[in-house]
Amino acid sequence: MSTRALVITSNVGVEQDELLKPLEFLRSKGIETIHAAPEQHSVQTVKQDKEHAQHYDPDALLSKIDADDYDILIIPGGTVNADTLRMNDDAQKLVRQFSDAQKPIAAICHGPWLLINAGRIKDKNLTSYSSIQLDLENAGGNWVNEEVHRCNTGGWVLITSRSPDDLPAFNDAILKELEGNPKTE
């Protein structure tokens, strides 16, 4: 069976590079990478949360995704995307299914907000966009200011990064995880 990655977003406010760069990078490495959203219409991406960027069509609906079919879950940021996605029952369910199955999750920028609502942040060491540090700490996470951080507390791996500037390290950490060569904590 080939390696499969799942990228989930809402349909609005997704930071363009945080969606497209991991998709393009993983696909260029031969990893089947599927993008799922709540609705089967184009996803509006943004640059720096303010400027509308390109539209991107998802490959699948969140409600139709089976976590058993994927090896890693990737959650891009964008303030509006992350705030919308964290309220989505299907997205919360996927986070719980991945963590319960001890499959890795990777989240960047505001993406870790979803883990709070899914009840999967307690005792995790992670990074994010600095403005949500207090939210993550109040939910029981331990925030660190690093380009990329890998945590396996609780029996499942969480890979996090702070912003689009960290995408090369974020993508590399995801690839290493999928190849079975993760950087140790």
151 as an active site residue: the answer is: no
Which among 35, 55, 110, 149 is annotated as catalytic? 110
Which among 35, 109, 149, 151 is annotated as catalytic? 109
Which residues 6+ apart lie within 8 Å of 134 measured at CB? none
Contact 131, 163 (CB under 8 A): no
Terminus-to-terminus CA distance in the chain, angstroms? 29
Cβ burial, residue 96 (10 Å; 0-12/13-18/19+): middle
**The pair of three-digit structure tokens given for residue 178, joined into one six-digit string:** 């999928």
Determine the longest span between alpha carbons in the chain, in angstroms. 41
Q: Which residues on adjacent β-strands are paired with residue 33?
A: 5
Helix (H) or strand (E) run with residue 148 in it = strand 148-151
52 as an active site residue: the answer is: no
42 alpha carbon, distance to own chain's centre: 19
Residues catalogued as catalytic: 109-110
